[in-house]
Every structure is written in structure tokens, then in C-alpha cells.
Amino acid sequence: MPFGKQPVASSGILQQATSMPQIEFKWKRRDRQEIVSKPVFTSTGLKLDSPGSGYFPAIWYTPGAGELPEENAKRFSELDKHGDGDIPLVKEKVSKEFPFIKDISILYHAGLPMMFAEVDGHAHKIPVGLLSDGINRLLGICLSLAYYKGGTVLIDQFEDGFHHALLPSIWSSIYSLACEFKVQLFITTHSRECLNAMLPTMRGNEDEFCLLKASRSENGCSIKSLTGSYLESALEQDFEVR
């Protein structure tokens, strides 16, 4: 196929495709009009109409799917360009948990933009991903809270990569950034130690927390929402809430 040419479907294939039942994609946000998108087969391929849906800022962090190094660099760069003071806040939280990190910046390595850290006792900057999984994970979460402001950040297995002694302070840092950037957090954990580490941050802010407890029955699964005050009392009395 010549360079720059688009593949063209034969009339037979196109006729067969257009004779198939029409597929519709529908989705709806609360208090918003339902959005319907209908893909159409054309001679150059599948065409999706643009229903004009709004973009909702959100990201999901899971231990099983690490992000590419350039993703953090991209968010750092975009935030730095705006000059809203978000980057100093992110750096402050990372340095608070890991005081040996003096500064964070973007450098190129093997042709790719990556996050590098200026570290005590080292003459050269070090890629953040090589320092520790915990540092890289915390930086990524903090950058996402700033980058997806007004949206949602989902963090699976919150404690993953963090030393248990740092968990209370990390809870506080992430909560304060979420408040600063008006981000809703959804956090999962299987660790009772992680939940107990949350208690100091939750005290006095109970209305900002709730427990979503999933349970299974013969009819399927259900989610029950419990207040922050309930969660606080349950943890203080050593009740099982996981």
C-alpha cells in the first residue's frame, strides 16, 4: 500500500457491514442528558460520531499496572507550564516523606522524558523510578491529584510500596492535596494497619470520609455506604470493617 494511503473497503464488505444491526453506545451522568453514539461503517473504515460529551478528569492507580516513566514527566511539564504553584506543593509533599530528596525535575534519558531527583550525597541526579517504588508511586499520585483537579483519583491497595511507618504521614499528605485540588479519592486496602494509619487524618474530618463495603449474596453483589464517624468508631474499637 503506498505511503499515506488509507485502506479502502470493498463494496461487498461494506454492503455486508452496513446490513448488520446498528450498534449504539449509551452512557449517562447524573443530572445530565443521556449521550448516544452510533458508529458508522464507511469505505475508509469505522467512523465514530462525536456526541459532544464532556471530559471527566480521572485516573486509576493499581499495583499491577505501572505507568510509563514519561506519563509523570508529561503531567509535571503541563503543571509547570501553567505556573499555578501546583508543582511546589507536589515537591513539598514528596520531600516531606523522603527528606533526602532535595529537588525534582525533568531530564531526558534514552530519548524519553523522565523524572529525576536531586538526592543528598549524590553528585548526579537519579531517575525517580530507580530510587524506590514508594517514591515513584507517591510522586505519581501527587502529580495526578494536581493534574486531575476537580476530578477523581482511584488508588488500589493504597499501602503498596510504602513503609508502614510512613503511612500516617502519607495519608495526611494525600488528603491535604485532595482538598487543595478538590479531588474525590476512592481508595482500597486489605491492610488493617493501613486503615489504622488513616485515623489521625480522619479525626476532625469525619464528614469527608465514608466506608464503601462490598458484600456478596445469592442475588449478586451490593455496596453499603457507612459514615466516616462509624468507620472511626469501628477502628478505634478494633471492629473488623474490611
Measured in residues, the chain has a length of 242
Alpha-helix runs per DSSP H in 86-165: 86-97, 128-131, 133-147
pLDDT digits (tens, 9 = 90+) for 40-73: 777 666 676 655 556 678 888 887 666 677 899 9
Cell of 104: 525534582
Q: How confident is the model at residue 2 (pLDDT cuts 50, 70, 90)?
A: very low
Based on the number of CB atoms within 10 Å of its own CB, is 219 exposed (0-12), middle (13-18) or buried (19 or more)? Answer: exposed
Domain containing 34 equals 11-47
Q: At residue 105, what are phi and psi to the nearest 5 degrees?
A: -150, 175
Tens digit of each residue's pLDDT (9 = 90 or more) over 129-172: 899 989 999 999 999 999 999 999 999 999 998 999 999 999 99
- Does 115 score more than 90 pLDDT? yes
Task: Note the pLDDT of residue 173.
Answer: 97
Answer with the residue of higher pLDDT: 48 or 6.
48
- 19 & 139 share domain: no
Q: What is the predicted pLDDT for the residue at 12?
A: 58
Number of domains in the chain: 2
Q: Is the dihedral of CA 191, 192, 198, 202 positive or negative?
A: positive
Are 66 and 41 in the same domain?
A: no
Same domain, 15 and 76: no
Q: Say yes or no: 32 and 67 in one domain.
A: no
C-alpha cell at position 41: 461503517
pLDDT at 227 over 70: yes
User: What pLDDT score does 29 carry?
Assistant: 66
